[in-house]
Structure 1
Amino acid sequence: MWEVACVLARDAAKVSGASALPPLLFFTDPQRTPRPWDTAARLPAGAAVVFRHFGQPDARGTALRLREITAGRGVRLLIGLDADLADAVGADGVHLPERALDQARELSKAQPQWLITGAAHAGSALDAPGVHARVLSPVFPAGGPSGATPPLGLDRFSALAESAACPVYALGGVDAKNARSLIGSGACGIAGVSAIQAAFSA
């Protein structure tokens, strides 16, 4: 998956200049990725971890552990929604759910060095001031919270990515078997949860 993600990133950079974006985003989930540091320790330099704690009590400790691992490997760390935690652990940015995209402009002013990504789903507008990239899902039939949402499919994803005001990652049902089909789709990279964990397992 890493090789395909890098091809997508290079293709997107030719069009949008998005060369500073990580090709691969590993999204954590307390249920599906209970030991995110194991996967983080195997990610290639240049990838990124998006730590989503969903209010879990050990969030700070896990974030600090991820920061230590990612900093030593050249992997960026984004914190889901929680800008205070991101600042406290020295993260490289934040990932915002759609409901919180209105925070992006102020965050980009307050933390101009941060990478800010934002979620996007079928039918949602892809313009969001202050956001460097959107994560659009689900591209393919997916598990997790996206499982009940009809997949976009490659044609619809490509059309949305082409019309977007910023680079767009592909999320949802992307795995080692279908990742290559994203080449030429306009995606700037791949995002995932379980599939990335599986791809970088021991």
Structure 2
Amino acid sequence: MAPQDWRTYLVTQESLSAGRSTVDIARAAIEGGVDAIQLRDKDQSARRRYETGQRLRELTAEAGVDLLVNDRVDLALAIGADGVHLGQSDLPVPAARELLGEDAVIGKSASFVEEARQAEREEADYLGVGAVYGTSSKDVPDDEADFGPERVRNIVDAVGIPVVGIGGITASNAAGVAEAGAAGVAVITEITQAEDPAAATRDLREAVERGREE
């Protein structure tokens, strides 16, 4: 599936999964119709992430869901992931592309229009734009936090590649992010901490679809 078709995108974090494993959360999200899963779990050892990634690769390959790895190009290669998501301080997109190949999906984080334009010049396949709303899932500098859908719209208008909104997104505010032009939304706790992650994924997808119709 191409990034422009992603509506719901799960970013994994076992420490924020209410005592459940990343694999269990991913399985439920797949049941709920998730389009892409990013292996994050930054607090785990490289070996543990590799083992988790192997299991996620089995699940996602069977379900036709895209699997990406946060930051680590080597781990993406090791588990046969579909691609990688890079932050501003990670490898440049062209370097990752050289290692992963032309068919890999490579995303880049961006909080500002110029960052987005630079990622497009580097031929990133999509942008992760945020933090759209306040979030406790990761540390975000003040000027990159809680900027709302309007900046998403500004970035969408500035580039020609798909944008995925991230940061503090829930089923109650996802429609506004999609209405601003985002292809979809990426979340951690909206799915990982939900009592029913499959239902939470479905609710999120419905909200995105509503926003895209408005």
> Which category describes the TM-score, using the shorter chain as reference length?
0.7 to 0.9
Corresponding residue of 1:105: 94
Q: Does 1:38 align with 2:20?
A: no
RMSD: 2.5
Corresponding residue of 1:64: 54
Aligned partners of 2:91 and 2:111: how far apart in 1? 13
Displacement, 1:155?
A: 1.8
Q: Indicate the percent of aligned positions where both proteins have the same amino acid.
A: 27
Structure 2 matches for 1:11-30, cutoff 5 A? 21-30=5-14
Q: Which of 188, 191, 196 is equivalent to 1:196?
A: 191
Question: Match of 2:16, SS?
Answer: coil
Q: Which amino acid aligns with 2:97?
A: S
> For each residue in 1:77-134, what CA deviation from the matched residue of structure 2 results, as whole angstroms up to 9, or x when unmatched?
11111112111111111111111151x1132244111111111225761121131011
Displacement, 1:30?
A: 4.1
Asked if 1 retains the 8 angstrom alpha-carbon contact of 2:86 and 2:109, the reply is yes
- Gaps of at least 5 residues in structure 1 are 1-8, 10-17
Asked if 1 retains the 8 angstrom alpha-carbon contact of 2:85 and 2:107, the reply is yes
Q: Which amino acid aligns with 2:72?
A: D
Name the TM-score, length of structure 1 as normaliser: 0.80
Corresponding residue of 2:174: 179
Corresponding residue of 2:132: 139
> For each residue in 1:145-186, what CA deviation from the matched residue of structure 2 results, as whole angstroms up to 9, or x when unmatched?
256634111222211221134221110111011112223211
Q: Which amino acid aligns with 1:41?
A: R
Q: Which one is further off, 176-185 or 141-150?
A: 141-150
- Gaps of at least 5 residues in structure 2 are 200-214
Q: Which amino acid aligns with 2:73?
A: A
Aligned partners of 2:129 and 2:69: how far apart in 1? 18
1:120 and 1:80, CA in 2 relative to 1: closer, same or farther beyond 3 A? same
Report which of the two has the higher share of helix.
Answer: 2
Name the TM-score, length of structure 2 as normaliser: 0.76
